Amino acid sequence: MAETGQKFPEVQGGGSLIVAWQVKGKKVLVVGGGEVAAGRILHCLNADAAVTVISPRARLNSEVAYRVAHNQVTHIDRNFLPSDLDDDAISMVLVAVDDPAASTTIWKLCKERRIPANIADVPPECDFYFGSVHRDGPLQVMVSTNGKGPRLASMIRKFIAKQLPSNAGQAIETVGQLRVRLREMAPRPEEGPKRMAWMSKVSEAYPWDEICGLSEEDIGNLLRFYPSGKVPSLDELKAMRASPAGKDVFDGSFGFSVGA
């Protein structure tokens, strides 16, 4: 194939594919009840997964015991059995026990059944890793070292979190509301590229603090500019607040004006 003269990103092998795995309502099996298991369980509950914990009650730490007592997870009070993997509804298995031989056995059983598994502290026996996560409402930022330096990942995550605006999560919530209403207003598939381009303009047009402060009325007024593909300035948008019904004159071609 002839060279086009275009420059493309260099391939950097050795990484992992970082994705947001949607496990809402799906069954996740956690083997173990200690500190590491507690962290895994919290991650899964935050993602609205249906978590089943297999561990003798005497080995549950206080956090996992709390989850069990408050019916946040399903608890099986015994050690793991191979038959626990016979449930076709299991989406993933997380192993966090202080028994390397048992962990490897469970991993091999998962491989036989093609169930994605994570074996704590054993990177070669992991289909996926848990990174260090910063959470602010809908905002999630994950730092992964591909299992090579979990503590360092935590330090880097904390550094990144300090650089983010304190209200980033709320700004994303507001943008999310705008996207939902825009899709309701322009639902046709062929509108997709235009919706995406307009949303990009909106996201880049206003500072974080101002996006956080947009009200339902502001979002409604902002959507009136979508047909023209334009985005009003903040001053224009604020001037439209509480405009008397029927008094606005707006055709999308130049902005808006308010009648006397």
Torsion angles phi and psi, residue 226, rounded to 5: -55, -45
Cα Rg for the chain, rounded, in angstroms? Answer: 25
Give yes or no for a contact between 125 and 108, defined as CB atoms under 8 angstroms apart.
Answer: no
Residues near 190 by Cβ (< 8 Å), separated by ≥ 6?
none
Give yes or no for a contact between 38 and 61, defined as CB atoms under 8 angstroms apart.
Answer: yes
Give yes or no for a contact between 120 and 147, defined as CB atoms under 8 angstroms apart.
Answer: no
Instruction: Clarify whether 136 is annotated catalytic.
Output: no
Among 140, 144, 119, which Cα is nearest to 130's?
A: 144
- Catalytic residue from among 77, 121, 127, 248: 121
Among 77, 40, 81, which Cα is nearest to 60's?
A: 77
Please give the Cα distance from 222 to 215 (Å, whole number): 10
Give yes or no for a contact between 133 and 140, defined as CB atoms under 8 angstroms apart.
Answer: yes
Please give the Cα distance from 258 to 245 (Å, whole number): 11
Report the run of H or E that residue 212 belongs to, with start and end. Answer: helix 208-212
Catalytic residue ranges: 121
